[in-house]
Copies of this chain bind each other. A is one copy, B any other.
Amino acid sequence: MKDLTVRQQEVLGYLQLHMREHGTWPSFREIEQHFGFRSTNAVMGHIRALERKGYISRIPGQARTYRINLDLNDDSPPREALDVLEIPVYGHIAAGYPDGVETSGEIGRLQIDVESAGIRRSRRSFGLKVRGESMVDAGIFDGDTVIVEQSAPKDGDIVAALIDGETTLKRFVNKPGEPPYLKAENRRYPTLHPVAELVVQGVARAVVRHL
């Protein structure tokens, strides 16, 4: 990706800031105000530049529809010393997470080194306080904290998925030839077969249980 000018970085930063603070993207006029511009066309120029350089995407004509493209081209995980990561823990996750590090709804924080947790610093991760017994056969109990990394799920992964506005933990099954579905690891719970809208929020990488 091409480099950004100082001003363009400021604008990009403001986009993210606004998302963090308000959970919504700013309109052109809000950006204009924030920077003290006297014309929305000043905004237009920067937005176009950011788009052209690949840092954001938008849907032309629609209001407040930004999208930040984070490049995940990095490949080599540099095996350093123990790298401790601070992870927000949620009781349940609603909307707004990926682009806004929304602290409301956070019920705690957890620090663990990346190696024990099996996560990468480059990926965004969060903790999830497990509720319910649907994963007991996989050794995940009510009250456990699961560390979830935002990445694409593979068959057999335990994933945090969004169903009916609640995030639940299930095993992701993706056999060739059939659509993916979610399976609970408890005989008493049903397999959520072809789910209408399956939104995987992340893949569980580690479990921390406080005995």
Q: Residues of A with Cβ closer than 8 Å to B?
A: 9, 12-13, 15-17, 19-25, 27, 62-70, 72, 74, 77, 79, 82, 84, 86, 92, 94-96, 98-99, 104-113, 115-118, 136, 139-141, 145, 158, 162, 164-165, 197, 199, 201, 204-211
The answer to whether residues A70 and B82 also contact, given A63-B63, A111-B112 and a CB cut-off of 8 A, is no
- Report copies per complex: 2
Q: How far does the alpha carbon of A23 sit from the alpha carbon of B9 in the complex, in Å?
A: 20
A108 CB contacts on chain B under 8 angstroms: 77, 115
Is B16 a contact of A165 with CB atoms below 8 Å?
yes
Is A139 a contact of B209 with CB atoms below 8 Å?
yes
Is A23 a contact of B107 with CB atoms below 8 Å?
no
Min CB distance, A60 to chain B, in Å? 13
A127 to B, closest residue via Cβ: B116
